[in-house]
Amino acid sequence: MKKSYTWILIGLVLSYLNIPLTIFDWITSIFGYLLIFFVIFRLNQQKPHQYLELSKYLCLGLLCFELLKQGFYNLVGNDSTYAFLLVLVLFIVQFLIFYFIIKSAVDESESLDLQTYQQEYLIIAMSVIIIYILTCFFPSIFWLLMGCQVIEFGLLCYIFYYLRTHMK
């Protein structure tokens, strides 16, 4: 189990990392989501859980989107409404993937610390989604969105490090 959460942490870092490597700038995200998918698959085989099952399929969908991302962006073109909705859906799916992984760990361990971290992640992730929606009307708060995403990333890293060190 400890190795699984370590691999999820590595996949998280890779999926959030965006290094422009010529035409292959999307490889880190794809590799990160692929790693997370296989770890969730393995965790679900060891201890089946409905949230891990949901998370697995959401991660597979996000992986497919990453593979086809350029085609989606070409399809959307310059229509900012579709691009806005596409990014909103991506935020929600990404939130659900990590929330379901954390929820399955909370159900397994019943740790009060982990329950607190789950609630904190829920608050921060919902804040990111709400602030993203508000940036449509108030573009000047985009910096606040970036700050919240950094906090969300840091909290997720801490939660998966906590799971790595405290789960059996």
What are the per-10-residue average pLDDT scores of the chain (168 residues)? 85 78 69 91 90 93 81 68 82 93 89 91 94 91 92 94 85
The total number of structural domains in the chain stands at 1
Structural domain of 109: 2-166
Q: What is the pLDDT of residue 144?
A: 94
Q: What is the pLDDT of residue 22?
A: 55
Non-local CB neighbours of 64 within 8 Å, separated by 6+ positions: none
Q: What is the pLDDT of residue 109?
A: 86
Under 8 Å between Cβ of 31 and 14: yes
Q: What is the pLDDT of residue 100?
A: 94
Burial 4-32 (b: 16+ CB within 10 A, else e): bbbbbbbbbbbbbeeeeeeeeeeebbbbb
